[in-house]
A and B are shown apart, each in its own frame.
Chain A
Amino acid sequence: MIANTLALNLIAKVMDWDDIEATQEYEWLRLMAGVKYDGYSDFAAGAGFSEALVDWLHQFQPADRKVAYRFVKERLVYISSAEMQRVIESFLPEVVTPYLRRCVAEDNGIEAHEVWATAEHAKAFSDRMRRCLFVGLSDGSRIDILRRANAGRLSQEQVIPMMNVDNEKWRSLGKDLRDEQGHDAKFQDVYLIDDFTASGTTFVRIKEDGLPKGKLPKFENIIQEAKKAIGDDFPIADGFRLHIHHYISTTQARAALDERVGSVASDMVNRSFDAEFLSQDGLTEGLLLGDDLPLGFLSSDIKPQGKVEVESDGLRSNRSSDEDMIKLCEDVYDPALFKRLEKHCREAGMSTMCYGYGHCALPLILEHNTPNNSVPLLWAETGTPTKPLMRPLFHRRDRHG
Chain B
Amino acid sequence: MANPFLRRATEYIRDAEAFLSIVSPAPLTTFLAGHKRQNELFDHPIRIIGSPGTGKTMLATLAEFRMVETILSDLNSQTNRPLARALADAGIVVDQKPHVAAVRVPMESEYRDFWELPYPPHIKTRLAFWLLQARALLGLIRGLTANGKRDLSQIRFRPRADYDAHIDQIGGLTADGVRRRALAVERAIYSVGSSLVPPKLEDLPEDATAPYDPFDAIEAVEIDWNGQPLELRPLAMLDDVHELHHEQLAALFDVMSRREMRFGRWMMMRLDALSPSAVLQSAGSPPAANRSEGRDFIDVRMQVDIKKADARRKFRTIAQDIANRYLPMIETFRNRDTPKIRDLLSTAQPTISKSKLDDLRTRVDRSQDDLEITSERRHSIEALVSEYVTNVVPQMPEDIELAMVRILMHRYDKRRANSTPSLFDDGDPDPKTPLEADRSVAHGAMIHLHHIYKRPLHFGIEALCDASNENAEIFLNYAGALVAEVETRAIRRRSLMLSADVQQTVLGDRARAIIDAWTFTHASKVRQLVYKMAADCVEKSLEPNASLDAGANAVAILESDFENIRADDELLLVLKHALANGAITIERNYGQGGKLWCLVELTGTVCLASGLTFLRGGFLPKKVKYLREAIADA
A residues adjacent to B (C-beta < 8 A): 2, 5, 8-9, 12, 19-20, 22-23, 26-27, 30-31
Contact = CB atoms under 8 A, between A and B. Distances in A.
Contacts, number: 35
B502 A5 contact: no
Interface stretch (B202-210, B366-374, B488-496, B590-598): B488-496
Nearest to B509: A20
A31 B7 CA distance: 14
Given A19-B502, A20-B506, A26 B488 contact: yes
B492 A23 contact: no
A9 B506 contact: no
B492 A19 contact: yes
A8 B488 CA distance: 9
Given A26-B487, A30-B2, 14 more contacts: A2-B331, A5-B490, A8-B491, A9-B492, A12-B492, A19-B485, A19-B488, A19-B502, A20-B485, A22-B491, A23-B484, A23-B485, A23-B487, A26-B488
Interface in B327-365: 331-332
B505 A20 contact: yes
**Lowest 6 CB-CB distances: which A-B pairs, in order?**
A23-B488, A5-B491, A22-B488, A23-B484, A8-B491, A23-B485
A317 B505 CA distance: 38
Best-surrounded residue of B484, B487, B488, B493 (most CB of chain A within 10 A):
B488
Nearest to A34: B2
B336 to A, nearest CB: 11
A19 B488 CA distance: 7
Given A2-B331, A27-B484, A19 B489 contact: yes
B419 to A, nearest CB: 51
A20 B502 CA distance: 8
24 contacts: A2-B331, A5-B490, A5-B491, A9-B491, A9-B492, A12-B492, A19-B485, A19-B488, A19-B492, A19-B494, A19-B502, A20-B485, A20-B505, A20-B506, A22-B488, A22-B491, A22-B492, A23-B484, A23-B487, A26-B484, A26-B487, A27-B484, A30-B2, A31-B2
A22 B502 CA distance: 13
Contacts of B490: 5
Contacts of B484: 23, 26-27
Contacts of A23: 484-485, 487-488
Contacts of A30: 2
Contacts of A5: 332, 490-491
Contact of A26 (B491, B493, B505): B491
Nearest to B485: A23
Given A20-B502, A20-B506, A30-B2, A9 B493 contact: yes
Contacts of B493: 9
Nearest to B494: A19
Nearest to B335: A5
Nearest to A3: B331
A12 to B, nearest CB: 6
B503 to A, nearest CB: 11
Nearest to B332: A5
A27 B484 CA distance: 9
Contacts of A12: 488, 491-492
Contacts of A27: 484
A102 to B, nearest CB: 27
Nearest to A6: B491
Nearest to A24: B484
A2 B494 CA distance: 21
A2 B487 CA distance: 15
A277 to B, nearest CB: 39
Contacts of B332: 5
Interface in B495-535: 502, 505-506
A46 to B, nearest CB: 16
Contacts of B506: 20
A251 B171 CA distance: 66
A23 B332 CA distance: 13
B8 to A, nearest CB: 18
Nearest to B6: A27
A13 to B, nearest CB: 8
A82 to B, nearest CB: 19
Contacts of A26: 484, 487-488, 491
A270 B249 CA distance: 75
Contacts of A9: 491-493
A367 to B, nearest CB: 22
Nearest to B489: A19
A20 B493 CA distance: 15
A30 to B, nearest CB: 7
A12 B491 CA distance: 10
A23 B490 CA distance: 11
Interface string B308-323: 0000000000000000
A20 B332 CA distance: 17
A113 B279 CA distance: 53
A27 B480 CA distance: 12
A12 B492 CA distance: 8
Contacts of A20: 485, 502, 505-506
A23 B489 CA distance: 9
B496 to A, nearest CB: 11
A23 B487 CA distance: 8
A26 B486 CA distance: 12
Interface in B69-127: none
Contacts of A19: 485, 488-489, 492, 494, 502
Interface string B476-488: 0000000011011
Nearest to A22: B488
A5 B493 CA distance: 10
Contacts of A22: 488, 491-492
Nearest to A27: B484
Contacts of B487: 23, 26
Q: Specify which of B492, B493, B505 lies most central, judged by the most chain A CB atoms within 10 Å of its CB.
A: B492
A22 B484 CA distance: 10
A376 to B, nearest CB: 31
Nearest to A23: B488
Nearest to B331: A2
Contacts of B492: 9, 12, 19, 22
